[in-house]
A and B are shown apart, each in its own frame.
Chain A
Amino acid sequence: MTLLRRYRGAVVGILALVIFGLLPLVSLHIPWVLPGTVDVVNSTGTLEVLALCFMFAGVALGYDLMFGFTGLLSLGPVLYFAAGAYVFDIAVTRWSWPLVPALALTAGVAVVLALILGAVALRVDGIAFAMVTLAFAQAFFFLIENNPHNLTGGDTGLALSDLRLPSLLSGAVSNTRNLYWIAFAFLVVTFAVVWLVTESVTGHIFVAIRENERRLDVLGIRPFRFKLLSFVLSSLIAAGGGVVYVLVIGTAVPSAVAATTVTISILIMVVLGGAGTRWGAVVGAMAYVYLQQFLVKVSGEPSFTTMPAILRVPLSQPQFLLGAIFVLFVLFVPGGLAGLIGRLGAKRDTTLPQPRRGIASMVKGLKK
């Protein structure tokens, strides 16, 4: 029993791996709760939503590495997400590059962008860092809207041409299953990377930066390069998410890929799940994306449209409901879902470590 408790995380992880890995092969019928229009688990609509869930879970996890573990409140992760989506899309669609060189170019651009912009933004701390990263991301949004050399397609976006992609990746409906597995693999790889990093010495330095940067300085460790490393890693993961997004959705549109709303969503996912806990970001992101898609579906149902306006108007706006849930979480559930479960567990079992504190005092550079 104690053995099971000790490896509980690993057991849950392996179970999730098997269940979600085999899900596309099962045509189980579940009424109502699925986000797709057909109530079958491996229907195209549901698989696509789940693929989005995995993709955002990976991106949120990468963001958590920087925000939750290193204490850097960046408001610009969308820049690297958009860079991943657009560089890959442009390489494949406009320049007809094959898959592997396009991926290599995307990774290279993401790393260089993150190194340069990260180095500039990390000159300041706390709120100023948040604002500078926000401004850079907004500048990138304007750049994409501007449609330089007719590369990005401006407002209307750029649909991914699958002529040069391997046929099992093309956007055909029959390939949704493959795209699902790619998104899932992205999440699994991201989780492995984040796990390795956070368990390593580097990861411990990240946490030390969050807790007390001056002390590191005194110990002779320069925090700057570790902050930059955390920033670049997180950005690279976001760019990977952008590539998966374009593959799954088949197009990149600035309002969906590059707008500040994406940053806000990622931040909300991490906080809902519980910052600095790894699986919290994953669960938060999956719950957020699933709920968003599910609420859109519910608001179109006939029983819904006949409701009185005072109920129908708020309930038909996923943005309102998600925002309200988020406000309630910030007010009443400081540690997010992870903190909540940690606290419930702690009541039952006093041998478990106490739940982590809320994110209140986590971000560096804030006056107390």
Chain B
Amino acid sequence: MSALIVITFSGLALGAIYFLAASGLSLIYGLMDILNFAHGLFMTLGAYAGWAVASHFPASFGAPALLVLAVVASILGGAAAAGLTEVLLIRPLYGRPVSQILVTIGLDLAAVGLLMGGFGSSALQIPVPLWLLEATHIGSVNLPNANFLALAAGVVVLLALEWFLRRTRYGIIIRAGVENREMVSALGIDVGRAFTVVFVIGGAMAGLAGLLYSVVFSGDLITPAQGDSLLIFAFIVVVIGGLGSIRGSAVAALVVGLVQDYTSFYIGGHPGWAEIGNLSVVLLLAFVLEWRPRGLFGSVL
């Protein structure tokens, strides 16, 4: 029983990180029709920005302060990378959706190559406070503190995003643009600026996701290619949730995280089944598409 609770909790934390990665992708797709392959790069750059700050500021700051700085740096790093990408590479290609996808593929390839050249392909370690490696006792179960961090980040971002999309002018423009871009342009609203905003927000969330994934699930290690392996799961979450839907992404992210954790814990232990967690996620995708080709909450496709 306690194992079930621990696995559920860690599946939800994984889902929270998938949500951070997938919701930006989903918004970008919904508004701009871009399958953003550079999203994995934004995650990786966020993690590296966090690492750079946490390991170069003096340790006298104290580990908790360094972690906060790293989180801020990952958000800013991801946002800056995404903003630059949109302005320099996506904007010249408006009206050419396939070229936009291709340019993000090329950017991802080039930048990951550069990271490998600069930092080497081996992993770097992010310094974290000790309490993050410990677990909290609730009743008879031990829940890892890192999982709380991921879940809290997921909930805060979901609430902030919902508030932004419902209560601010840009949020409303973005929602309207996802529904019908031509209509928004026809009303004289500069959709181009909304594109940049969506990229910056998506990049910020991706940067945070990249850092948190390292801290929560990969032993504080970061590598140049980590974002690309996360990206595939983010894509799957986006398709299952329905392209363009934030709530769809949130629900699908939790489902995918739980399915992945349950199957790899209960089945993956048997010899010859080690990859069942990853495989079952793809099977889930095939099943959902057979049943609902537009995804759980999808309308724009």
Contact = CB atoms under 8 A, between A and B. Distances in A.
Interface of A: 73, 120, 123-128, 130-132, 134-136, 138-139, 142-143, 145-149, 260, 264, 267-268, 271, 313-314, 316-324, 326-327, 330-331, 334, 358-363, 366-367
A268 B286 CA distance: 27
Contact of A132 (B29, B181, B276, B285): B285
Nearest to A362: B98
B36 to A, nearest CB: 11
Interface residues of B, number: 51
B113 interface: yes
A123 B293 contact: yes
A134 B273 contact: no
B139 interface: no
A331 B228 contact: no
Nearest to A127: B35
Most A CB atoms within 10 A — which of B93, B117, B228, B283? Answer: B117
B116 to A, nearest CB: 6
A360 B99 contact: yes
B38 to A, nearest CB: 11
13 contacts: A127-B29, A128-B243, A128-B289, A128-B301, A143-B275, A260-B232, A271-B102, A317-B116, A317-B117, A319-B110, A323-B110, A330-B93, A360-B95
Given A319-B112, A323-B110, A362-B98, A136 B103 contact: no
Contacts of A363: 97-98
A268 B102 CA distance: 8
B106 to A, nearest CB: 4
B97 A268 contact: no
A263 to B, nearest CB: 10
A327 B97 contact: no
A38 B181 CA distance: 58
Interface stretch (B76-84, B207-215, B234-242): B234-242
Interface centre among B89, B92, B106 (most CB of A within 10 A): B106
- Chain B contact residues, majority secondary structure: helix
Contact of B102 (A124, A317, A330): A330
A323 B98 contact: no
A140 B37 CA distance: 20
A199 B107 CA distance: 36
B282 to A, nearest CB: 4
A360 B97 contact: yes
A331 B286 CA distance: 34
A271 B301 CA distance: 25
A317 B113 contact: yes
Contacts of A268: 105-106, 109
A267 B97 contact: no
A146 B275 contact: yes
Given A148-B272, A319-B116, A323-B113, A136 B108 contact: no
Contacts of A126: 301
Given A139-B278, A146-B274, A358-B96, A319 B109 contact: yes
Nearest to A139: B282
Nearest to B107: A327
A330 B100 CA distance: 8
Given A330-B102, A358-B99, A360-B99, A120 B289 contact: yes
A125 B298 CA distance: 14
Contacts of A132: 239, 285-286, 289
